[in-house]
Structure 1
Amino acid sequence: MYRFLLTPRWWGINVFAVLAIPVCLFMGSWQLGRFETRVDSHRDQQTQADQARTADAAPLRDLLPVSTETSGRQATAAGRYDAGHQLLVPDRDLDGREGFYVLSLLRTDGGKALPVVRGWLPGDARSRTDTAKVPAPPSGEVTVTGALQASESPSSKGVRTSGGVPDGQLGVISAASLVNLVPYEVYDAWITVSKASGPLTAVPPAAAPNSGLDLKAFQNLGYTGEWFVFAGFVLFMWFRLFRREAEAARDLALGITPEEPGSPDGSGGPDDARQKRSPAEAA
């Protein structure tokens, strides 16, 4: 009764099912593993953030390049602020309020400059009234302590890149964004000071990239469910086709032929219609 399984059509169906189901299960397991990795990374990041808040500050050179282990660590750097290249980073929210960062470049003894977010101010970076409150950076040799951060990208959390920014402002805090604005090299990192002075409010450090439970993590979880659903759908469709073929084969074995198109009882063909006409209708 199941000889139909040996037909070329069913060979194709079986091969497709045998290949598709393991592939769907593998992809679902891989996406689940990605989600679990992000959960573990988020947990580790929380632990590291707690440790970073209590750990002693380390020299900047000992923490570079920035990684998930060093992001958020307290770093120290000595040098002089470049008062001629102070920049404002617009459209940065803090505690639900709109404002902007005040960024100064610290010229270190090594020659490179370190971007330092000295703090946050409420208001609009394009308003002269709001920017008039920005304090000048300290003069002379200073030692800065703050949380180490990786360079931002246009997709980083909190970054708004709609349209350009005017002179004196910076949309993305990164060495790539600063390369054409200053005449010296810049570290591929930045720090946000722990204690802000004057009217500035200290900016809390952000989590390291790809280490939190962001939208991508929950996308991985959603893809996991989709792949497992695909595997179940393939199995369901195979079983449905198999049952239909098996029922048809069983009916043929019992001498039950499929109904002809037409009426539900199998009649309705032209010959049947002529036989059912009365003699008067036939005349």
Structure 2
Amino acid sequence: MYRFLLTPRWWGINIFVVLAIPFCVFMGSWQLGKFEDRVDTHQEAQQKPDPGEQKAAPLDELLPVDSETSGRQAMATGQYGRQFLVPDRQLDEKRGAYVLTMLKTDGGRTLPVVRGWLAEGDRVPAAPAGPVTVTGALQASETSGTDGVHAAGGLPNGQLGMISAASLVNLVPDDVYDAWVTLSDADSGLKPVPATAPAGSGLDLKAFQNLGYTGEWFVFAGFVLFMWFRLLRRETEAARDVALGLDPA
């Protein structure tokens, strides 16, 4: 009755099932592991002191930016240079722009400094002249997936869509730090821009997407197994009918 299992068609079905179910279980377990990692990271972050409350340290001591140093208060000394506007940034549900000014540090490298947020239509205040010492929350370079990042191209001269060394490489002749700081106390006429948590460190929407994908992969595994049993039952009933002479074929 079960000789049909030895047909080429059923060999293909069986091989597919044998490969598909472990693959679905593996992918579901991997997504679950990603979610658990985010939960662990979130719990560890909750137990640590707020980075913004820790003592300020020289910039170079906090680099490269990672989950430990992101948000820490960094200090740098130098002179302000070229200035950009980073448009389409919201603060308190209002549209505006970040005022991004290049700080040529005493070490020779250039640090992007967000001096504050400017409401749409307001006049951009000039940067302080002469040597300055800035203190602000250290942030990792933005990427195309960062909230608020403007699509590449199409911006007027003097505006920048993304705060990163890569986006500044052709605009600033100096070596640019792969990081930036947002001033704790914004310059006159500007509002301070709060630091953001490092990517992947909190229970955000993406974390719960991982949990949702976990359920989907396990559902797929169950569906494959269900369909295999359904096909097996149908073929078995058809073979029984033929054996009993109930099937004209």
What TM-score results when the alignment is normalised by the length of structure 2? 0.90
Q: Which is greater in Rg? A: 1
Letter in 2 for 1:95: D
Structure-2 change in CA distance of 1:138 and 1:98 (3 Å): same
Letter in 2 for 1:257: L
Secondary structure of the residue that 1:93 maps to in structure 2?
Answer: strand
Any gaps of 5 or more consecutive residues in structure 1? 125-129, 261-283
Corresponding residue for residue 123 of structure 1? 120
- The CA deviation at 1:189 is 0.7
Aligned equivalents of 2:46, 2:189: Cα separation in 1: 30
Aligned equivalents of 2:2, 2:29: Cα separation in 1: 34
Secondary structure of the residue that 1:98 maps to in structure 2?
Answer: strand
Corresponding residue for residue 93 of structure 2? 96
How is 1:162-181 mapped onto 2 (pairs within 5 angstroms)? 163-181=153-171
Aligned residues: 249
Structure-2 change in CA distance of 1:162 and 1:119 (3 Å): same
- The CA deviation at 1:225 is 2.2
Corresponding residue for residue 35 of structure 1? 35
Residue 45 of structure 1 contacts residue 207 of structure 1 at CA under 8 Å; is this kept in 2? no
Letter in 1 for 2:227: M
Corresponding residue for residue 258 of structure 1? 247
Any gaps of 5 or more consecutive residues in structure 2? none
Structure-2 change in CA distance of 1:8 and 1:107 (3 Å): closer
What TM-score results when the alignment is normalised by the length of structure 1? 0.80
Greater fraction strand: 2
Residue 152 of structure 2 contacts residue 161 of structure 2 at CA under 8 Å; is this kept in 1? no
How is 1:96-245 mapped onto 2 (pairs within 5 angstroms)? 96-124=93-121, 130-131=122-123, 134-161=124-151, 163-245=153-235
- The Cα RMSD (Å) is 2.2
- The CA deviation at 1:252 is 4.0
Residue 35 of structure 1 contacts residue 217 of structure 1 at CA under 8 Å; is this kept in 2? yes
How is 1:10-29 mapped onto 2 (pairs within 5 angstroms)? 10-29=10-29
Structure-2 change in CA distance of 1:181 and 1:59 (3 Å): same
Corresponding residue for residue 249 of structure 1? 239
